[in-house]
A and B are shown apart, each in its own frame.
Chain A
Amino acid sequence: DGGITQSPKYLFRKEGQNVTLSCEQNLNHDAMYWYRQDPGQGLRLIYYSQIVNDFQKGDIAEGYSVSREKKESFPLTVTSAQKNPTAFYLCASRSRASSYEQYFGPGTRLTVT
């Protein structure tokens, strides 16, 4: 089955620690995205990548970092500089050649205390 996997489903960290969220897709999609979801605020774009070894900041990139070393993988690191990291994080991908919609993973809920 083709799809997007995010792991883990739930993640707990202490304040001041960096944490990396995994996102893997086997859809052969070129573009990948990271969103943050908070209650009542919809989804906000953190980073996106159109091709391997290239990525762009979204609307709320401060305190986050990404890499895109492989087409299938787009990990997100939440650094200690992120002031309010507790949120639901969603990864998505899109085929630039054949469709316009984004396909979403199941999400990771990060809690920082």
Chain B
Amino acid sequence: AQSVTQLDSQVPVFEEAPVELRCNYSSSVSVYLFWYVQYPNQGLQLLLKYLSGSTLVKGINGFEAEFNKSQTSFHLRKPSVHISDTAEYFCAVSDADQGAQKLVFGQGTRLTINP
């Protein structure tokens, strides 16, 4: 069975500072990895995804993530955050061999940007 651990439930950061949201996964098979963002009382929006190829993946809103197979990690980074980045962020994993039929989500990380 697959699982995802987001190591920080809350991350406070000052505006224009860099941020890293950590994600580790557990799986015995090849995986696809995703980061989603959720603004208050809304659905989830895809930030970026790793399917194959380059381990550094760039997404929307200036975010990027790096797939590290040996450390089973997929950490999300942004070099300079904005107030509008305040949201909850979810890491998710799916089984590549089953065509990403199902997603398993982490518990989420609440990112708070302070002025």
Contact = CB atoms under 8 A, between A and B. Distances in A.
A107 B43 contact: yes
Interface string B93-115: 01000011111011110000000
Interface residues of B, number: 24
B7 interface: no
Q: How large is the interface on A (under 10, 10 to 19, 20 to 34, 35 or more residues)?
A: 20 to 34
Chain A interface main SS type: strand
Given A100-B49, A100-B94, A106 B102 contact: no
B5 to A, nearest CB: 10
A8 B44 CA distance: 17
Q: Is the interface of B mostly helix, strand, loop or mixed?
A: loop
A41 to B, nearest CB: 6
A112 interface: no
Contact of B102 (A40, A42, A45): A45
B48 to A, nearest CB: 10
Interface string A88-113: 00101010100011111111010000
Interface string B29-45: 00010101000011111
A43 interface: yes
Nearest to B34: A101
B32 A104 contact: no
Contacts of B99: 96, 100
Contact of A40 (B44, B101, B107): B107
Given A40-B107, A41-B107, A100 B102 contact: no
Interface of B: 4, 9, 32, 34, 36, 41-46, 49, 51, 90, 94, 99-103, 105-108
9 contacts: A4-B43, A31-B101, A42-B4, A42-B106, A42-B107, A90-B43, A100-B99, A104-B43, A104-B45
- Counting from the closest, the 4 A-B pairs by CB-CB distance are A104-B43, A100-B100, A42-B105, A104-B44
